[in-house]
């Protein structure tokens, strides 16, 4: 009986051991399961992280690609805008023109340097920036140049030193008109000296109206940007002596010749500018002869007329001829630099003209035009001299003007603006 009791105890212990093994096995299985679940979760998390990283990377690449595409598009648009602006600029021509540049005796005295050289730059200091902004700037050089500087002199038989030309070029002028009533003041030699000076020193300047040899063309063509500007300059005549056999040296108004030259100019350029030196001096309105010439030139196809000689400002207008052709006319720009002793002679003008061209068709038209009033300043002893835009001229300068010693008439900025028709 004791043996049976002992056997039963061993069986119980075996059962307990099996149960313990099962319990531990289940615990291990649960642990393994939990570990697997943990690993699976970590795997999923890792995959999610990887997926997020990949997604972020893809997003960043897409954003960068979009930014690059946007930048490239913007750069292309900017390039196209720049090209369009460059094309537009190449087909936009800004022309300015001023009136009579007259070297009176006291200007010559002021320009004379201690070493017996000449310097006329002081006359144009306040105009230089404005002149240099233009694509093409023209001036009427009323007085002829002479090589013998011992013979330099002013009114009535003008002979100016070459340094005047140097100053004009330094200021920015690229078109110089020489066909005036004073062109023959020093005879044939004066014209030859002047033409020779320009040809030798500034061949890039378009010199109009005079020639150093027979057969030289009256037409000058300035090629600026996408434009060919054909230009002519004629005077009604000269003072005193007739030209006789030297007529080939100076362009003088004669209808048949002018008509032929204007036609030729129209074939050479896409814009014809005619510088007309004629009219009645000190008259506020164009005289009958000028009006006849303007009508005639319009009929020949001239696009722009720039008038000089009257020494005072006259009006300007856009005319339409019978065939529908439009022509811009400045009847007189008055004086540029001078020492006139009357107020009207001190008030000049700068023509401002904007011309456009259609590069596809080649059509050219005047887009805009106007006039900037100018005033020639000199003080009482005629030492401080120079041309100003009227808008830059001050009442203080007006009070110091030497004109007060010549006239009792009002000379103020206000009176000048009224005279010029400026509000």
Residue 276, SS3?
Answer: strand
Architecture in CATH of 93-420: 4-Layer Sandwich (3.60)
> How would residue 185 be classed by pLDDT, with cut points 50, 70 and 90?
very high
How far CA 401 is from CA of 249, 272, 407, in Å, comes to: 39, 39, 11
378 compared with 71, residue with greater pLDDT: 378
Q: Comparing 40-54, 169-183, 225-239, which segment has the lowest mean pLDDT?
A: 40-54
Question: How much is the pLDDT for 36?
Answer: 78
Note the pLDDT of residue 327.
Answer: 98
Residue 190: which H helix or E strand, with range? helix 187-201
Q: What share of the chain in percent tops pLDDT 70?
A: 96
Q: Which residue has the higher pLDDT, 45 or 378?
A: 378
The pLDDT, as a whole number, for residue 246 is: 63
Q: Say which residues have a Cβ less than 8 Å from residue 21's Cβ, sequence separation at least 6.
A: none
Q: How confident is the model at residue 46 (pLDDT cuts 50, 70, 90)?
A: confident
**Span 307-311, average pLDDT:** 98
Backbone angles phi, psi at 210, to 5 degrees: -130, 160
Q: What span, in angstroms and rounded, lies between the C-alpha atoms of 229 and 271?
A: 5
Average pLDDT over residues 265-281: 97
Percent of the chain beyond pLDDT 90?
71
For position 220, what pLDDT does the model report? Answer: 97
For residue 166, pLDDT beyond 80: yes
**Is the pLDDT score of 32 beyond 80?**
no
Kindly state the average pLDDT of the residues 87-112.
96
Q: Which band of pLDDT confidence, cut at 50, 70 and 90, is reported for residue 10?
A: confident
Predicted local distance difference test score (pLDDT) of residue 1: 46
Domain ranges for the chain: 1-90, 93-420
DSSP assignments along 105-157, one per residue: HHHHHHHB-TTS-B--GGGGTTTHHHHHHSSEEEEEE-S-B-S-GGG-B-SSS
- Residue whose token pair is 């000048």: 416
Average pLDDT over residues 201-227: 92
Pairing of strands 316-320, 326-330: antiparallel
Tell whether the model's pLDDT for residue 377 goes beyond 60.
yes
Is 378 within 8 Å of 102 (Cβ atoms)? no
Of the candidate ranges 85-99, 152-166, 238-252, 402-416, the one whose mean pLDDT is the lowest:
238-252
Chain position carrying tokens 């068709």: 361
Cis status, amide bond into 156, omega within 30 of 0? yes
Q: What is the pLDDT of residue 243?
A: 62
* Mean of pLDDT values over 78-88: 82
Q: Name the more confident of 23 and 358.
A: 358
Q: What is the pLDDT of residue 2?
A: 44
* pLDDT, position 112: 94
- Hey, is 318 helix, strand or coil? strand
What lies within 8 Å, CB to CB, of 261 at 6+ separation is: 218, 219, 232
* DSSP collapsed to 3 states, 17-30: HHHHHHHHHHHHHH
- Which tokens is 75 given? 């750069």
Question: Could you tell me the end-to-end alpha-carbon distance of the chain, in angstroms, rounded to an integer?
Answer: 144
With a cut of 80, say whether residue 204 has pLDDT above it: yes
**What's the confidence (pLDDT) of residue 376?**
98
Mean pLDDT for the chain? 91
Q: How confident is the model at residue 3 (pLDDT cuts 50, 70, 90)?
A: very low
Average pLDDT over residues 362-378: 97
Q: Which residues contact 309 (CB under 8 A, 6 or more apart)?
A: 100, 180, 181, 235, 236, 277, 278, 279, 281, 332
Given pLDDT bands bounded at 50, 70 and 90, which one contains residue 305?
A: very high
CB atoms within 10 A of CB 386: 17
């Amino acid at each position: 009986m004791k043996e049976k009791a002992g056997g039963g105890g061993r069986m119980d212990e075996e059962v307990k051991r099996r149960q313990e093994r099962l319990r531990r096995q289940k615990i291990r299985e649960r642990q393994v399961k939990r570990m697997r679940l943990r690993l699976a979760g970590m795997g999923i998390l890792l995959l999610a992280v990887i997926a997020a990283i990949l997604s972020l990377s893809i997003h960043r690449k897409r954003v960068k690609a979009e930014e690059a595409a946007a930048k490239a598009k913007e750069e292309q648009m900017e390039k196209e805008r720049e090209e369009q602006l460059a094309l537009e600029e190449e087909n936009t021509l800004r022309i300015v023109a001023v009136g009579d540049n007259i070297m009176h005796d006291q200007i010559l005295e002021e320009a004379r340097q201690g070493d017996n050289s000449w310097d006329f730059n002081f006359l144009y200091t306040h105009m230089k920036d404005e002149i240099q902004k233009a694509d093409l700037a023209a001036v009427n050089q009323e007085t002829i140049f002479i090589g013998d500087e011992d013979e330099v002199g002013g009114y009535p038989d003008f002979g100016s030193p070459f340094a005047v030309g140097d100053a004009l070029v330094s200021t920015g002028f690229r078109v110089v008109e020489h066909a005036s009533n004073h062109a023959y003041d020093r005879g044939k030699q004066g014209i030859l000296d002047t033409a020779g000076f320009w040809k030798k020193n500034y061949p890039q300047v378009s010199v109009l109206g005079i020639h150093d040899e027979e057969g030289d063309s009256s037409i000058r063509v300035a090629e600026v940007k996408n434009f060919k500007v054909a230009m002519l300059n004629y005077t009604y005549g000269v003072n005193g002596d007739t030209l006789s056999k030297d007529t080939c040296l100076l362009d003088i108004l004669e209808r048949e010749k002018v008509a032929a030259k204007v036609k030729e100019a129209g074939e050479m350029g896409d814009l014809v500018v005619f510088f007309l030196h004629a009219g009645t001096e000190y008259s506020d309105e164009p005289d009958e002869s000028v009006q006849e010439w303007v009508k005639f030139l319009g009929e020949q196809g001239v696009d722009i007329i720039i008038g000089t000689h009257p020494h005072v400002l006259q009006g300007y207008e856009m005319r339409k001829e019978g065939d529908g052709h439009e022509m811009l006319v400045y009847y007189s720009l008055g004086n540029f630099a001078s020492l006139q002793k009357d107020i009207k002679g001190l008030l000049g003008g700068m023509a401002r003209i904007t011309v456009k061209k259609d590069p596809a068709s080649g059509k050219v038209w005047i887009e805009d035009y106007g006039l900037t009033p100018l005033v020639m300043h000199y003080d009482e002893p005629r030492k401080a001299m120079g041309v100003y835009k009227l808008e830059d001229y001050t009442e203080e300068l007006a009070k110091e003007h030497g004109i007060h010693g010549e006239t009792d008439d009002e000379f103020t900025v206000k009176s000048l603006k009224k005279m010029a028709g400026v509000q």
